[in-house]
């Protein structure tokens, strides 16, 4: 499908705003996870500003589409998007990781827009299956999206969920795999190789869609395709760059879980302006 150029430009601009928020938020907190937040920024921006149905003023609206951030350490991305979407005031982003703040270092369901706590990797897809089945049983008509990491995909629980979702024909469920090639301390392929990944998901009974996770048109097309699949769940395997958008963070493992210094923050913000 063709998408209007203006829509693509608008989403690209929005993703830039989100990336800037991520860097500034983590810098202010002095800790956090910028790398995997930046790599998934385009995927989650398009999801929230083009695909999901929700009411920011009514976070528990029963018909809302569900988004679950299974790789919970990337909550700076989720918080930036939720603030931009109007779930809470943007000034609150300044309180990331402070004691008593609504914006904890890993997601907590007291934060408006956060569906489920996360941070212990591997569990989110199973949570998504529960949401998917509940939606079908209650005839709510919503869809469920779960963002997982490539390092996270080494967890056995992911593959149990893969089997179960296909068994239960969860076609309202879409996993998004942020395949940035890195995990906490190295390349995913060196720690435990995942390839051939699309073949694996296909053999587990899923509909895999492989894309460039920084191409807005490819992301839009993938979400459209996932929505049209019947009788099986879909997974968007998105090839991304860890730290995307900030030159000195790209593919640098150190920025998995460290805040930029004051000078680095100034440089990053300039690049994202
Ligand atoms: C069960 C569990 N084991 C270990 C960790 C510690 N941990 C946090 S992030 C991370 C790496 C995750 O890699 P990936 O899923 O690729 O995330 P991304 O690169 O997108 O940030 C690990 C091992 C955890 N949070 N949960």
pLDDT, mean of residues 62-80 = 98
pLDDT at 72 over 90: yes
| Residue 256 CA to its chain's centroid (Å) | 15
Tokens of 222: 């993938």
Residues 6 or more apart in contact with residue 85 via CB below 8 angstroms:
48, 49, 54, 56, 113
* Cα 82 from Cα 249, distance rounded (Å): 24
pLDDT, mean of residues 165-188 = 98
**C-alpha separations of 113 from 55, 107, 124 in Å:** 9, 10, 16
Give the pLDDT of residue 219: 98
pLDDT, mean of residues 218-228 = 98
SS3 letters across the chain: CCCCHHHHHHHHHHHHHHHHHHHHHHHHHCCCCCHHHHHCHHHHHHHHHHHCCCCCCCCCCCCCCEEEECCHHHHHHHHHHHHHHCCCCHHHHHHCCCCCCCCCCCCCCCCCCCCCCCCCCCCHHHHHHHHHHHHHHCCCCCCEEEEEECCHHHCHHHHHHHHHHHHCCCCCEEEEEEECCECCCCEHHHHCCCCCHHHHHHHCCCEEEEEECCCHHHHHHHHHHHHHCCCCCEEEEEECCCCCCCHHHCCCHHHHCCCCCHHHHHHHHHHCC
Give the pLDDT of residue 220: 98
Mean pLDDT (the chain) is 98
* Cα 224 from Cα 236, distance rounded (Å): 11
**By alpha-carbon position, which residue is closest to atom 21 of ligand 1?**
36
* Cα 205 from Cα 177, distance rounded (Å): 16
Task: Determine the distance separating the centroid of ligand 1 and the alpha carbon of 137, expressed in angstroms.
Answer: 32
Give the pLDDT of residue 267: 98
pLDDT at 1 over 80: no
pTM, two decimal places:
0.98
Task: Determine the distance separating the centroid of ligand 1 and the alpha carbon of 189, expressed in angstroms.
Answer: 14
**By alpha-carbon position, which residue is closest to atom 14 of ligand 1?**
151
Ligand 1 atom closest to residue 153's alpha carbon, by position in its atom list: 15
Which one of 183, 191, 253 would you pick to mutate in the ligand 1 pocket, going by the greatest count of ligand atoms within 8 A of its CB? 183
Residues 25 and 41 sit within 8 Å (Cβ to Cβ): no
Task: Determine the distance separating the centroid of ligand 1 and the alpha carbon of 75, expressed in angstroms.
Answer: 12
Tokens of 40: 């998934």
Q: What is the pLDDT of residues 245-268, one digit of tens each?
A: 999 999 999 999 999 999 999 999
pLDDT bucket at 2, cuts 50 / 70 / 90: confident
């Amino acid at each position: 499908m063709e998408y209007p150029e203006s829509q693509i430009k608008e989403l690209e601009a929005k993703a830039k705003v989100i990336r800037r928020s991520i860097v500034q938020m983590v810098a202010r907190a002095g800790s956090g996870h910028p790398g995997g937040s930046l790599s998934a920024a385009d995927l989650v921006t398009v999801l929230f500003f083009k695909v999901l149905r929700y009411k920011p003023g009514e976070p528990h609206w029963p018909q809302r589409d569900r988004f679950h951030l299974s790789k919970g350490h990337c909550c700076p991305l989720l918080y930036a998007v939720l603030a931009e979407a109007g779930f809470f005031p943007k000034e609150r982003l300044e309180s990331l990781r402070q004691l008593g703040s609504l914006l904890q270092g890993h997601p907590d369901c007291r934060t408006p827009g956060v569906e489920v706590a996360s941070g212990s990797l591997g569990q989110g897809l199973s949570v998504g299956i529960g949401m998917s089945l509940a939606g079908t049983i209650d005839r709510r008509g919503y869809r469920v999206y779960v963002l997982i990491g490539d390092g996270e995909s080494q967890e056995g629980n992911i593959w149990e969920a893969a089997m179960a979702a296909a068994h239960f024909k969860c076609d309202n469920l879409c996993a998004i795999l942020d395949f940035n090639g890195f995990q906490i301390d190295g390349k995913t392929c060196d720690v435990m190789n995942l390839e051939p990944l699309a073949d694996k998901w296909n053999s587990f009974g899923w509909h895999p869609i492989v894309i460039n996770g920084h191409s807005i048109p490819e992301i839009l097309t993938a979400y459209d395709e996932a929505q049209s699949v019947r009788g099986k769940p879909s997974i968007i395997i998105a090839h991304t760059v860890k730290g995307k958008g900030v030159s000195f963070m790209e593919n640098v493992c150190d920025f998995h879980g460290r805040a930029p210094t004051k000078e680095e923050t100034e440089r990053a913000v300039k690049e994202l302006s």
